Copies of this chain bind each other. A is one copy, B any other.
Amino acid sequence: MVQLVHTIKAVRDAVADARRRGLKAGLVPTMGALHDGHGSLIEAARRECGYVVVSIFVNPLQFGPTEDYDRYPRTLERDVAYCGEKGADLVFAPEVREMYPSPSLTFVSVEKITDTLCGASRPGHFRGVATVVSKLFNIVLPDVAYFGQKDAQQAAVIKRMVSDLNFPLTVAVVPTFREPDGLAMSSRNRYLSKEDRQAALVLYRSLQGAMSLLEHGERRPDVIRSYLRSTIEAEPRARLDYADVVDPETMQPVTEIEGDVLLVVAAYFGEARLIDNMLFSLPVR
């Protein structure tokens, strides 16, 4: 039976109690509006940890002034039931005033990795993410924290933050969960009209095509970039934000393809901004 708590004290007490019982604590930080992508994170935590906490908090600090903070979907009751189905032990759903009793003067920022891609398109976004995730780590004190590969830049930022600041935990990155037709699951997919939902498949198609080029031996990053860009731009309902080939740790554009590279795309469909990515590993000879 999943338990729902709203205060920092309650989640700390619950995790301390679980730890006294010898259980390993897993944290799945979310903004709610849960879908099967989150489900796969909860399932991964369930497999590896004796005590699974899902946090649900739409963090104002990571939204820009023109972004969708106010209309971001909030479905707490359904989310809690879903966490229960997936086997979570505790849902931590604080109010904004519990997390920010006064405006935060303290910020955690990760340089370089956040200069590109979503970091460039969404100024301040990753500073808001790193700050709230630091808070959640200090509140929940998990042994393992789970993030989705779908938000590849976020995962890279959090991994670097954990390493740089010596957070006493492991970051687990879980593969992107897709709809049967390939669309990466995202809470923002529910913003899509029927036509845009169909058009949004172009992100997956562009990545698959680029992977196929790479698998057939293409090694010029600019050719891959052009392919991604022109594929997305050929979809009239898509407005391209970025399409790039980057280093999966630093998120900097690569000049040659060696080792792992990450193909990353972002585009608007109507007002919804969607992202997706795929990792290509050069076969070892």
Contact = CB atoms under 8 A, between A and B. Distances in A.
Interface of A: 8, 12, 104-113, 130-131, 134-135, 138-139, 141, 160-161, 164-168
B105 A164 contact: yes
As for how many copies of this chain the complex holds, the number is 2
A124 to B, nearest CB: 13
Given A8-B166, A167-B138, A168-B141, A107 B109 contact: yes
Nearest to A250: B105
A106 B135 contact: no
A106 B109 CA distance: 6
Contacts of A8: 166
Contacts of A107: 108-111
A7 to B, nearest CB: 12
A141 to B, nearest CB: 7
Given A104-B164, A106-B110, A135-B165, 8 more contacts: A105-B112, A105-B113, A106-B108, A107-B109, A107-B110, A108-B108, A135-B166, A138-B166
Contact of A139 (B12, B108, B113, B166): B166
7 contacts: A105-B112, A105-B160, A106-B109, A106-B161, A106-B164, A108-B108, A135-B164
A104 to B, nearest CB: 5
Contact of A108 (B141, B165, B168): B165
A284 B279 CA distance: 66
A238 to B, nearest CB: 32
Contacts of A165: 106, 108, 131, 134-135, 138
A222 to B, nearest CB: 27
A107 B12 CA distance: 26
B111 A130 contact: no
Contacts of A164: 104-106, 135
A90 to B, nearest CB: 17
A1 B111 CA distance: 42
The interface centre, meaning the residue of A8, A111, A112 with most chain B CB atoms within 10 A of its CB, is A111
Nearest to A106: B164
A112 B107 CA distance: 12
Contacts of A110: 105-107
